[in-house]
Amino acid sequence: MTRKIMHELGIVFHVIKRLENLAAEQKLQQIQSVTLELGEVSGVVPEFLEDGWKWAVKKSPIMENAALKIETLPAVSICNACGKTYGTVENGKTCPHCKSEDTVLQTGNEMNIKEIEAC
């Protein structure tokens, strides 16, 4: 469990560092909120990310009150055999249309900074 929390905390530190650099470049005074997009199968646990965020933003003057918003991106795979897409979480690696296992994850593994509210 601790290792997983440490994984999310490392992500939080990375995001905060990128935002601090952006704030310096853009001469921003304060970041009020950040919206992250998390893929459904990204391996990131939103609750752990939120806990790490609450602790870490207090250490950054420009972000000390910044809210974290998380949007989940669905995991979608495409079947190389029939060309159709399907929900990966519900079906795994097997295409529900033709039963082929020749499939590739298209979306759902990413983590993006989608939006920043700042002044």
- H runs (alpha helix) in the chain: 2-26, 46-56, 88-91
Domain count, the chain: 1
Q: What is the mean pLDDT of residues 27-45?
A: 95
The overall average pLDDT reported for the chain is 93
45-85 confidence digits (pLDDT tens): 999 999 999 999 999 999 999 999 999 999 999 999 999 99
User: Can you give the CATH number for the domain in which 74 is found?
Assistant: 3.30.2320.80
Res. 1: pLDDT tops 90 = no
Is residue 119 marked as binding?
no
pLDDT at position 4, please? 54
pLDDT at position 5, please? 62
Res. 116: pLDDT tops 50 = yes
Expressed as residue numbers, the domain containing 48 is 2-118
